[in-house]
Amino acid sequence: MNYASIRTCDIANGEGVRVSLFVSGCTHHCKGCFNEEAWDFSYGNPFTKDTAEFIFKAAEPSWITGLSLLGGEPMEPENQKVLRPFLREFRARFGDSKTVWVYTGCIYEDLTGRNGGVSRWRTDDTPEMLSSIDILVDGPFIESLKDISLKFRGSSNQRILDLKKGGESWLKS
């Protein structure tokens, strides 16, 4: 897996001050995507053990609220293979003291199998990944539904789901 960038002091992609990893590779190709260059799976730099250690170190200060994974697309099957063990180690080091937010163009029901069908997005890695995530921002960016007044999302179809509460809406209305 490659990554496009890392932000060590991000306040735009989840609550509080966060470390954000922008992975490379996305097959959604949403019209109007803010990070189109990260569609290419080979864009950026290889995600290595040193990269993971850099992120873990950056997340250590008490004022860092947690980790955000964006893209590209973190839930691309090939990205899940790398992110699952990374999230396992993040949880081993930080437990629940730091939150994990994941932004995906996928729909939660496709990731969980709750849609009743088979989805290429649901792999053997998906259940463990989902169990490591606190907040999932799901749904493709839809340019015609773009709304800059929305908190932590780009278009009104996207949902902010609290996975620690079974996928219910995180928004307090």
Q: The whole model's pTM is what?
A: 0.93
What the chain holds in terms of domains, given with CATH numbers, is 2-169 (3.20.20.70)
Both tokens assigned to 41: 């799976």
Both tokens assigned to 11: 């306040």
pLDDT in tens, 83-120: 999 999 999 999 999 999 999 999 999 999 887 777 88
Pairwise CA distance, residues 173 & 154, whole Å: 17
Pairwise CA distance, residues 84 & 54, whole Å: 17
Pairwise CA distance, residues 85 & 36, whole Å: 26
Q: What is the pLDDT of residue 172?
A: 52
- Label the pairing between strands 99-103 and 64-70: parallel
pLDDT in tens, 20-77: 999 999 988 888 888 878 889 999 999 999 999 999 999 999 999 999 999 999 999 9
